[in-house]
């Protein structure tokens, strides 16, 4: 007799923050408003930097790329959470959870790298102001962003 004990788990059960329907509606509205504010704010930054020619400097170039990464970062988990609230489901598949965690780590690393690049840009601007335009060329900025 061969005993097998190999359960196959294909979904994770999400318990959520609250089981009371009134609080769930309040949490849904709260998370949706925070998500929309984050998306709208970052998209406005990208729009402002791309349309105003006075903002075509390395600092604002990096800021617009950081805003784009923040849009991607906040869009990895929150839409699934909001969809679960609407549909009333409390599960996420194993592959879906793995993909969310992968994208979350990738965008968090890109966020941190871009912050380091922005710090380097400000270091060059403060410590070497006369050489700033020669050191921070468009090619170097594009290379630093591509490296992230």
Tell whether 6 is covered by a domain.
Answer: no
Tell whether 4 is covered by a domain.
Answer: no
* pLDDT tens-digit readout, 9-42: 677 776 666 677 777 788 889 999 999 999 999 9
* pLDDT tens-digit readout, 79-127: 988 888 888 777 888 888 889 999 999 999 999 999 999 999 999 999 9
Q: Is the pLDDT of residue 4 over 80?
A: no
Tell whether 88 is covered by a domain.
Answer: yes
Domain of 138, in residue numbers: 20-147
Give me the pLDDT at residue 96, please: 85
Give me the pLDDT at residue 93, please: 83
Tell whether 1 is covered by a domain.
Answer: no
**Count of beta carbons in the 10 Å neighbourhood of residue 112:** 12
User: What total of structural domains would you count in the chain?
Assistant: 1
Give this prediction's pTM: 0.83
CATH code of the domain in which 122 resides:
1.20.1070.10
pLDDT band for position 68 (cuts 50, 70, 90):
very high
């Amino acid at each position: 007799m061969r005993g097998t004990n190999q359960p196959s788990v294909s979904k994770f059960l999400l318990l959520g923050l609250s089981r009371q329907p009134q609080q769930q509606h309040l949490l849904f509205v709260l998370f949706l408003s925070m998500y929309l504010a984050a998306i709208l704010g970052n998209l406005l930054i990208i729009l402002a930097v791309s349309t105003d020619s006075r903002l075509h400097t390395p600092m604002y170039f990096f800021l617009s790329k950081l805003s784009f990464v923040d849009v991607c970062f906040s869009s990895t988990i929150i839409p699934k959470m909001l969809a679960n609230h609407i549909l009333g489901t409390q599960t996420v598949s194993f592959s879906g959870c793995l993909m969310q965690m992968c994208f979350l780590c990738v965008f968090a690393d890109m966020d941190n790298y871009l912050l380091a690049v922005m710090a380097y840009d400000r270091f060059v601007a403060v410590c070497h102001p006369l050489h700033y335009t020669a050191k921070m060329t468009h090619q170097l900025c594009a290379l630093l962003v591509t490296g992230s």
